[in-house]
Amino acid sequence: MSNASVVSSDPAEAAVQLGRYLIEVDMFPVFLTAHFCIACLTIREDSNDLGPKFHQNHPMASWVSSVLTSLAGVFVTNFLFGTAVVDIVKEDKLIVVVTVIWYFMNYGPYDLLFKLVRVSPINMVLALLQENLRARCIFQSLQQATRAYPGAVIIVLLAGVINGNGYGYVKIVERLIRGKWVPGSNDFLQVTYFAKSSLYASAVFMLQSTGLIPVSQELTYLSVVTVFMLFRVIITFSPYKDPLLPLELPASRLLFGLGDKKSQATETVREEKNMNEELKKKL
């Protein structure tokens, strides 16, 4: 048995080993499959207001939206950094896995996969696996952007935010494919927890890499993953959909004189409800 496979009895060393494992473990198939399940579930549930049989009447729109959502970070990154937007499509293995999951999520016998993924404990496990993938995407995108644009802090941070919250920036386009138009729901007007946490995690990784945070890379990575998972549990089982908001409000009001963020969120929800009512009248 190799020394690398032996877990240290020292808590600090064990934490470093766990962090190193999380950095190096292959995201395919477990973590990516969990992410694809959540993505396809999101598209199906978000299409309910378009009609109970939307996925049956419009399979092409459903499939394109599912693929776009599953690989959103890659699509947006390719667009911003001058790579062919559809370059990721050449990864046949990923497209096949997304397609299989999409098919069984929407057309499987007895809606088995759809019902299974919605079971609270299973959904929670998938969400936690997805948070691990999100941390990895941020971490790797920062390394790639740093090599391509050394010293360009804003570009590097942008790469991390996009890869940690890709869906937030393609949501308008993805919904438009399905015939749904809610312009006030984009992540520039309503900055979500996932966008903010991606930015903060990117900043932490950058500060650690420059030595301003005197902690090893493994412990920093483990800390980010732990916080991501903890906040995902809070979001799932509590009414607070943005655990960072109570910490940000005092600074936001001081620096920007912001009003009530809750009213802004309420306005977006009202806009979506009005749009949904109009769609139901047309069906």
pLDDT in tens, 211-264: 999 999 999 999 999 999 999 999 999 888 899 988 888 888 888 875 555 555
Angle, CA 207 vertex, CA 203 and CA 211 arms, to 5°: 170
Residue at token pair 């009530």: 260
**DSSP codes joined into one string, 222-247:** HHHHHHHHHHHHHHHHSS-S-TTHHH
pLDDT in tens, 61-80: 999 999 999 999 999 999 98
SS3 111: helix
Torsion of CA 65, 70, 73, 74, to 10 degrees: -90
Q: Which amino acid is at 144?
A: Q
Please tell me the predicted confidence (pLDDT) of residue 223. Answer: 98
d(CA 15, CA 124): 23
Type of residue at 88: I
What confidence score (pLDDT) does residue 264 get? Answer: 52
3 state SS of 256: helix
- Beta-carbon contacts of 178 under 8 Å, excluding residues fewer than 6 positions away, are 43, 46, 47, 50, 54, 58, 61, 62, 65
Residue found under tokens 């309420």: 266
8 A C-beta contact, residue 81 and residue 148: yes
For 11, the 3-state DSSP assignment is: helix
Distance CA 78, CA 148 (A): 13
Query: Residue 273: pLDDT band by 50, 70, 90 thresholds?
Result: low
**Residue 134 in contact with residue 43, Cβ under 8 Å?**
no
Query: What's this model's pTM, rounded to 2 decimal places?
Result: 0.88
